[in-house]
Structure 1
Amino acid sequence: MSNTGRPEVTAYVALGANLGDAADTLRKALQALGSTHGLRLVKASSLYRTAPIESSGPDYLNAVAEVASALTAPALLAALQGIENAAGRERPYRNAPRTLDLDLLLYGGARIDSPALTVPHPRMWERAFVLVPLHEIAPSLVTGQRLSAVADQAIERL
């Protein structure tokens, strides 16, 4: 039970950035996750460098964080978007380069399909930049078959 009186749910958040000082931005985003009311940062993966997929611009730095959340999934999404906005996130067009991107990957065992939120994240199983760092911190969630399916995507642990 959290200090909000709600039970905590284990959630996983993907972090990515490819504009500005991406490493510093990701470190600050992890700090923000840990200091957001109703969230507790449990662990974070290493940083990884990946080429943009369906996007342009410089290489991305990526990570995945496990959080214990006393927030509902929509409230967690709103908190993530607030952290993005504080980092200067702009959305000029789909898949534009970004100062910070935070995606809610998993929220406990929930399956959510609403106009605002889909959980599990619909493309997470297709992306090495999600699966490799997720496997680092929660190996039981990512099978070898899933990792093999994205083995052709270049990813470098920093």
Structure 2
Amino acid sequence: MRAIRAEVTAFIALGANLGDAGRTLRDALAALNATTGVRVVQASSLYRSAPIDSSGPDYFNAVAEVRTTLSAPELLDALQVIENNAGRERPYRNAPRTLDLDLLTYGEACIDSARLTVPHPRMNERAFVLVPLAEIAPERVTPVQLRAVAAQRIDKAH
């Protein structure tokens, strides 16, 4: 029997640039909310951004705030199940993808393991993370962070 854990707030970045990417992100949010021990509190609007260090069509991106009783590694496992169910393949680094789910933060935890680094090590370098995060949790993003990524193209998807 598993001990009951207090809920932790986590932020998750969602991205996709293959297939019906907007629908894939909406389906991923629903799958996340249907995961035992996870509750989606809010999600940003969908955004479009150009690939960074990659190729292929524009990405659709969003950020979700969740409350979870899962540990960080358990939440990562759940994210990877959702990715795999969406047909995620990893043929090479930064390959175009049907779905990418990244654990950005897990409460106030700092984790640096072979499998998981939290806070996400590149989140402050990516407009496609910071802009949607600022939409739903403005206290987590500073004007300095937003100015640092201002040259990266990102637009609200319609």
TM-score band (shorter)?
Answer: over 0.9
- 1:118: which partner in 2? 117
- 1:108: which partner in 2? 107
Q: For structure 1, list consecutive stretches of 5 or more residues without a partner in the other structure.
A: none
| TM-score between the two structures when normalised by the length of structure 2 | 0.97
The DSSP-based 3-state class of the residue aligned with 1:115 is coil
- In the alignment, the residues of structure 2 paired with residue 144 and residue 33 of structure 1 have an alpha-carbon distance, to the nearest angstrom, of 30
Q: CA deviation at 1:5?
A: 2.3
The DSSP-based 3-state class of the residue aligned with 2:62 is strand
Residues 72-87 of structure 1: pairs in structure 2 closer than 5 A: 72-87=71-86
- In the alignment, the residues of structure 2 paired with residue 9 and residue 73 of structure 1 have an alpha-carbon distance, to the nearest angstrom, of 9
- In the alignment, the residues of structure 2 paired with residue 69 and residue 149 of structure 1 have an alpha-carbon distance, to the nearest angstrom, of 31
* Cα distance per residue 1:108-145 (max 9 Å; x no partner): 00000000000000000000000000000000000011
Write the letter of the residue equivalent to 2:33.
G
Q: For structure 2, list consecutive stretches of 5 or more residues without a partner in the other structure.
A: none
- 1:60: which partner in 2? 59
- In the alignment, the residues of structure 2 paired with residue 143 and residue 23 of structure 1 have an alpha-carbon distance, to the nearest angstrom, of 27
- 1:11: which partner in 2? 10
List structure 1 runs of 4+ shifted beyond 2 angstroms.
none
- 1:40: which partner in 2? 39
Q: Identity across aligned pairs (percent)?
A: 72
The DSSP-based 3-state class of the residue aligned with 2:93 is coil
CA RMSD in angstroms, aligned pairs only: 0.7
1:30 maps onto 2:29 in alignment: yes
Write the letter of the residue equivalent to 1:56.
S
- In the alignment, the residues of structure 2 paired with residue 5 and residue 78 of structure 1 have an alpha-carbon distance, to the nearest angstrom, of 18
Q: CA deviation at 1:96?
A: 0.3
- In the alignment, the residues of structure 1 paired with residue 60 and residue 26 of structure 2 have an alpha-carbon distance, to the nearest angstrom, of 11
Write the letter of the residue equivalent to 2:20.
D
- In the alignment, the residues of structure 2 paired with residue 122 and residue 46 of structure 1 have an alpha-carbon distance, to the nearest angstrom, of 23
Write the letter of the residue equivalent to 2:54.
S
The DSSP-based 3-state class of the residue aligned with 2:41 is strand
The DSSP-based 3-state class of the residue aligned with 1:97 is coil
